[in-house]
Amino acid sequence: QQQVKQSPQSLIVQKGGISIINCAYENTAFDYFPWYQQFPGKGPALLIAIRPDVSEKKEGRFTISFNKSAKQFSLHIMDSQPGDSATYFCAAPNTNAGKSTFGDGTTLTVKP
Amino acid sequence: DAGITQSPRYKITETGRQVTLMCHQTWSHSYMFWYRQDLGHGLRLIYYSAAADITDKGEVPDGYVVSRSKTENFPLTLESATRSQTSVYFCASSETRGGSYEQYFGPGTRLTVT
């Protein structure tokens, strides 16, 4: 069973600031590391994902940084906006079974 | 409409009653999943299915039953509901061909057991 530890549990950031959420995993056999974003009353939706053949992936204000040796990957949200306020989940897939283990989630609040 | 749908969106039931949550996807994805979301526990996998007639337990399967006779449907049944099963339930689907593993989630069912 893949273990995924996500931190922090909650995060408050001022508008325009940088939000950083971290995720640590155990099994090194996986090749796809996504972050999901969930707004209140909605289901999670894929935000950005990375494969371990690169150390960083950027999409707009969102960046994943991947550290294979440390078995960690993190989500950076640059110029955080109130509309980014949501719960963020990292995940690590068990490719043999097609299922994923999710972190416990980080509730991000961006204050105007 | 294309996508993944869940019904009902809200359900209140009494302890001991049987209740079935429905999930339907229109993409013909091979994999389907049921999660429960509780404060402080994130998303916990209840059951998953790799294809029609193939299901397997997840992290928290006790008290739940699933079936998948058709690719597009994956109902979740609580055989005898308990208050500890009060939660928000999400269905998801994915297609792992191409190595994406992205899961597409439904809007959720908020279940209250009184």
pLDDT of residue A94: 73
Most A CBs within 10 A among B31, B47, B103, B104, hence the mutation to make, goes to: B103
Rounded to whole angstroms, how far apart are CA atoms A82 and A17? 11
Mark yes or no for CB contact A43/B42 under 8 Å. no
Rounded to whole angstroms, how far apart are CA atoms A78 and A13? 11
Q: Give per-residue pLDDT as tens, B37-91.
A: 998 778 999 999 999 999 999 999 999 999 999 999 999 999 999 999 999 999 9
DSSP three-state, residue A83 = helix
Most A CBs within 10 A among B9, B35, B55, B102, hence the mutation to make, goes to: B102
Structural tokens at position A86: 């949501």
B90 at interface of A, judged by CB pairs closer than 8 A: yes
Structural tokens at position B22: 């429905």
Instruction: Please give the interface size between A and B, counted as residue pairs whose CB atoms are below 8 Å apart.
Output: 60
Mark yes or no for CB contact A104/B107 under 8 Å. no
Alpha helices in B1-114 (DSSP H): none
Q: Give per-residue pLDDT as tens, A41-57.
A: 999 999 999 888 889 99
